[in-house]
Amino acid sequence: MQSVAREFDALGLAAPQIGIHQRIILLTLQNGREKVFVNPQIVGKSTKVVPSIEGCLSVPALVASVPRHESIRLKAFDYSNGEEILQDFQGDDSFCLQHEIDHLDGVLFLDRVEDKEAIGVSNFLRIRAGERKIVDELVQQSEKLPQTIALTSVISFFLALSISAATN
């Protein structure tokens, strides 16, 4: 998990994204430390919900504003020592944990977007409808991704094209 997250500069990664059917997430915290959480559960959350601009390795062509709780309380096992933790997280750490735990529950960030018309195309792939060069770049990127992520990358490209065509 660490090698995939580092290679693709991901802040977080859920084990199911790379074909590991376990409730494990990897997160690079705001302080720069990497943490691996096993069986993470959100056991408390703030009432304040704020927008979080998010992207995802599973659909790398798309970005959107997602409503997230400003802070959460996490219960999990710390992979580094096996100890159970109960810890509060705020801001980007909170958003990323919610995003990765959603993956464990079969939820994609796009499922939480309230205004579907506001889904944007990521500058990462610089997608423009009809440019063959972009398709070639996407295929090259997909070849480097783990197979479970690669399929959704190609699907997201065509979804992004259809969104782009619909808005033009």
Residue closest to 83 by CA, chosen among 37, 43, 41: 37
- Tens of pLDDT along 19-40? 889 999 999 999 999 999 999 9
C-alpha span between 43 and 73 (Å, rounded): 6
Whether the pLDDT of residue 126 is over 80: the answer is no
CB 101 within 8 A of CB 13: no
Whether the pLDDT of residue 166 is over 60: the answer is no
CB 85 within 8 A of CB 132: no
C-alpha span between 39 and 24 (Å, rounded): 6
Class of residue 96 by CB neighbours under 10 A (exposed 0-12, middle 13-18, buried 19+): buried
Which segment, 5-9, 65-69, 72-76, 150-154, is predicted with the most confidence on average?
72-76
Average model confidence (pLDDT) across the chain: 78
In the chain, pLDDT over 90 holds for what percent of residues?
45
C-alpha span between 164 and 128 (Å, rounded): 8
Q: What is the reported pLDDT for 89? A: 97
- Tens of pLDDT along 130-156? 444 444 454 455 555 554 444 444 455
Residue ranges and CATH numbers for the domains of the chain are 2-167 (3.90.45.10)
C-alpha span between 148 and 113 (Å, rounded): 22
Catalytic residue from among 54, 84, 100, 117: 100
C-alpha span between 138 and 141 (Å, rounded): 5
Beta strands in 46-128 (DSSP E): 49-54, 62-69, 71-78, 84-90, 120-121
Whether the pLDDT of residue 128 is over 60: the answer is no
> What's the average model confidence in pLDDT over 64-75?
95
| 100 noted as active-site residue | yes
Q: What is the reported pLDDT for 156? A: 52
- Largest Cα separation within the chain, whole Å, is 53
The secondary structure of residue 52, as a DSSP letter, is E
